Amino acid sequence: MAPTTPKFSNPPPTCKYCILSFPSPAILLITLNRPKSLNCINMDGHAELEATYAWLDVEPSLRVGILTGNGRAFCAGADLKEWDSQNAAGKPRAMPPTGFGALSRRTGRKPVIAAVNGICFGGGCEMIINCDMVVASRKATFALPEVKRGVIALAGALPRLIRTVGRPRAMEMALTGRTLPAEEAREWGLVNKVVGDEDGEVVAAAVEMATLVAENSPDAVIVSREGIKLGWEAIGADEATRLLMESWYPRLLQGENIKEGVRAFVEKRKPNWEESNL
């Protein structure tokens, strides 16, 4: 299907770090566009995506969003070079209340489908855990490797992950940081469908899925989605995230390992961990 340029009731946001396109008038395709940085998201990128999802929710002509990446990565997580610079300057990091990429804690009104074209690590994986549906290329890989860098998946994934894959598998992902291939992620329930690895194939599959959604009553889609979310978060994933942020994250920030992990990544060496005082 050839991309179109529909007329909007509200102007789309101006984007620097992602590309907005429209496979059909009702579908918004967001392509993360920092391929040399494996589509890692910086602070400006978070704000840009927050504006984009807010626009998706208020633009009446749009029914569904799709998120994908340009190049060999979907999203490899946070921009650790920027993070290291902020640590050195003593500047606090702050992402939107909607979480990593404005998606990992997003509630929103309209569904978002992830079209995972490649590496999906850290914050990238946190985003897909909170997506409504996930299509993956056969070459896609998934991981929460934060523990390898002395940080944690703080953006909402941990309490949500257990609802999707169960406690043993959630513990395996979060505590080992190991990488899951696409087929294993599908078996675990992280991914709806795995497709081939030809260029554009995963986006085409996501567009096909989005088209099925867009063909339905937009009111019924929004209300049905809310009903599922109420069941999924009945125990309160956001409350769990709040407690984690208020009780444990300040302790993590006071230690040296969080800084050492980021610094070691930037310096391309193995981190030298200190014993935990938590």
| pLDDT tens column, 102-128 | 999 999 999 999 999 999 999 999 999
Q: What is the mean pLDDT of the chain?
A: 90
Q: For residues 249 and 46, give the distance between their C-alpha atoms in angstroms, rounded to a whole number.
A: 20
pLDDT band, very low/low/confident/very high, at 252 (cuts 50, 70, 90): confident
Answer yes or no: are the C-beta atoms of 143 and 119 closer than 8 Å. Answer: no
pTM of the full structure: 0.88
Q: Give the per-residue pLDDT at 186.
A: 98
The answer to whether residue 272 scores a pLDDT higher than 90 is no
CA torsion 203→209→213→215, rounded to 10°? 90
The ranges assigned to domains in the chain are: 18-199+217-266
**226 noted as active-site residue:** no
Q: Which of 78, 140, 174, 206 is catalytic?
A: 78
Is 123 designated active site? yes
Its CATH class, for the domain covering 18-199+217-266, is: alpha beta
Active site residue 206: no
In the beta sheet, which residues pair with residue 150? none
Q: What is the reported pLDDT for 4?
A: 56
Decide if 252 contacts 152 (C-beta within 8 A): yes
Contact 140, 122 (CB under 8 A): no
The length of the chain in residues reads 278
pLDDT in the model for residue 39: 97
